[in-house]
Amino acid sequence: MVNFGASRACQTCKQRRKKCDESRPNCQRCIKAGRVCLGYQENSSVLFRHYGPPTLNEPPSAVMQTPTSPSGVVIPEPDDEQLERDALAIFFDDYCVESADRTISRGFLDGLKPLIDHAGESSDIAQAAKIVALATTGNRLRRLNILCKTKQQYGGLLHSFRSTLMRATESDMVETLMIAVLLGLYEIVSSTESDPGQRNAHVSGVGAILSNKDSPFDLTTGTRLFQLGNAFLLPESLPQPENVGLLCAPSRNGSVLALDGILINVNPIFNLANDLFVAPSCQLEDVRTLRQEAIALERHISTWPTRLTGEWAPHVVGNVSEAQLRSSHSPGWPGTVDSYFDLYVAAVWNTYRKTHLMILDIIVKCSNYLEPSDVCFELHPKARQLANDIAASIPYHLTNDAAKYLQHVQHGVEAQYDGRPVGGLLVLHPLWVVANASVVSHELSTHMRNELSWIGHVMGIGQANQLASSRALLSSQHIAQGHVLIWAGMLTQPI
């Protein structure tokens, strides 16, 4: 028999695998993190919840139920003033990934906390972090008053940032960069279908800082990578060493080939494909040329995983079947469940997978336009594997413990997504690529849209809702802009 262990922690801390302070009636850790404390389960009570028969393709529930304790007492949500007081703590808990080993991983926004501590709570960088946290919490708890207030604060910060950018010096370059990143993250969190936001302004700000001759960031390829967000920032040609960049192991760990240079080479192909596929008609020779260039790039990018060893390799936790998912009433996709060194490593892997999948999609579309080709029969299994590998990473991104998720599903216990918003943020675009790829089954495409919808409604990341409902092919520029802001969050290092 499997014993999941007795615990006196509140239900929220149990789900999130956090140390609970066990204060009554509500856990103060939950309150400070802006989360609803679900109360404490008495040792003598056992709760059963009844569900209708689920289907794999139905969207995960996005309805926020009124939280109650096991005794049925309604647990109050934190008020607006309390959320504002605790906004920085919420932000650090929700979005910062500290690297356990900087020779392996860069983490995400690692080093931002000491930067904010040094600048002070009234600084622009601290205020920018707060509005990201409050917008996320406002979305999650459906608090329109908080969302309206953060939008007003954002307007003031944006005006201040533009002035700061014009007079930025070497001494405050890092802080200015992070303000740009945080304002961009706010746009991602708060964006809706009708209001996609002003990310391009922040991408330009990030790129301008990185291209400044006094920039402290020693990332030749990584700096060049930010040109993807604005093709006019860096006209000069820069060298592209294989093992220097953002999307690789840091500290010159030569065992991991940087993805940065590959993505730079791929971007023109994506732009050309977008132009050709949306045009009312196109020349056959242009399609043939595009296919040949895409085939060459596909061969090149296929070598990337062969260079990975040790901590960078995905770890297979186990497998779940469709029957197990149904019987446990758990979200997920049948197949492998993987774990990674951390979310940074998982994000780089999924950047490779979604880029490779997009290249395969271009080749197949070109081949179908010209004539059915044998190359398509070879490429479809590759595409399915890449898409399934992205699906296998979802429990790692959206839960605090992929192994526990697997254990629950395999033993008929309902498993829930209980991870931090940063996990959803880092998997947004890979899910969207799978959802829109022509080489992916309708069932998996629908599942990915449901996962995006869950990230948007429950984790509070607004752009996920936009991507879940967007069936039109977004431009590669749109996707690159979002990536630029996320990648820039990997630049900071603890002092």
pLDDT computed for residue 240 by the predictor: 44
Give the torsion through C-alpha atoms of 25, 31, 33, 35, to 10 deg.
Answer: 80
What 3-state DSSP class applies to 12?
helix
Nearest CA to 101 out of 249, 308, 314, 304 is that of 249
Nearest CA to 331 out of 462, 448, 427, 467 is that of 448
CA dist 443 and 322 (Å) reads: 13
Residue 373 lies in a domain: yes
- Residues 302 and 438 both lie in one domain: yes
pLDDT computed for residue 33 by the predictor: 66
- Residues 184 and 277 both lie in one domain: no
CB 16 within 8 A of CB 45: no
- Residues 41 and 87 both lie in one domain: no
- Residues 1 and 100 both lie in one domain: no
Cis peptide leading into 334, omega within 30 of 0?
A: no
- The Cα diameter of the chain in Å comes to 74
Residue numbers of the domain that contains 389: 260-488
Structure tokens at 437: 């790829």
Residue 135 lies in a domain: yes
Residue 400 lies in a domain: yes
CB 60 within 8 A of CB 332: no
Structure tokens at 34: 């802006």
pLDDT computed for residue 397 by the predictor: 97
CA dist 393 and 316 (Å) reads: 10
What 3-state DSSP class applies to 335?
strand
What 3-state DSSP class applies to 336?
strand
- Residues 158 and 26 both lie in one domain: no
According to DSSP, the residues that pair with 336 across neighbouring strands are: 319
pLDDT computed for residue 309 by the predictor: 73
- Residues 265 and 192 both lie in one domain: no
Residue 494 lies in a domain: no
pLDDT computed for residue 205 by the predictor: 59
Residue 243 lies in a domain: no
- Residues 270 and 393 both lie in one domain: yes
Residue 252 lies in a domain: no
CA dist 237 and 458 (Å) reads: 44
pLDDT computed for residue 149 by the predictor: 95
**Residue carrying structure tokens 């849209």:** 449
* Runs of H (alpha helix) within 10-79: 11-16, 28-32
CB 141 within 8 A of CB 77: yes
- Residues 431 and 296 both lie in one domain: yes
What 3-state DSSP class applies to 385?
helix
Digit-by-digit pLDDT tens for the chain (495 residues) are: 344 444 567 777 765 657 787 777 678 777 666 676 767 654 433 333 333 333 444 444 444 444 444 444 555 667 888 899 999 999 999 999 999 998 889 899 998 999 999 999 999 999 999 999 999 999 999 999 999 999 999 889 988 887 877 776 766 778 888 888 898 899 889 887 656 556 556 555 555 565 555 555 544 434 454 444 443 333 343 344 444 455 555 544 555 567 777 777 787 888 888 888 777 778 889 999 999 999 999 999 998 898 787 889 999 999 999 999 999 989 999 999 999 999 999 999 999 999 999 999 999 989 888 876 666 778 889 999 999 999 999 999 999 899 999 999 999 999 888 899 999 999 999 999 999 999 999 999 999 999 999 999 999 999 899 889 866 555 556 666 667 777 778 877 776
- Residues 98 and 158 both lie in one domain: yes
Structure tokens at 177: 């960069």
Look up the CATH number of the domain holding residue 32: 4.10.240
Residue 64 lies in a domain: no
- Residues 117 and 216 both lie in one domain: yes
CA dist 181 and 222 (Å) reads: 15
pLDDT computed for residue 241 by the predictor: 44
* Domains in the chain, number: 3
Alpha carbon separation from 349 to 167, 226, 241, 451 (Å, rounded): 37, 19, 19, 19
Last residue of a domain, one of 209, 229, 249: 229
Residue 317 lies in a domain: yes
Exposure string for 183-207, b = 16+ CB within 10 A, e = fewer: bbbbbbbbbeeeebbebbbbbbbbb
> Under 8 Å CB-to-CB from 475, ≥6 apart: which residues?
271, 274
- Residues 307 and 428 both lie in one domain: yes
Q: State the pTM of this model.
A: 0.80
Cis peptide leading into 54, omega within 30 of 0?
A: no
- Residues 112 and 40 both lie in one domain: no
212 DSSP assignment: S
Gyration radius of the chain over CA positions: 23
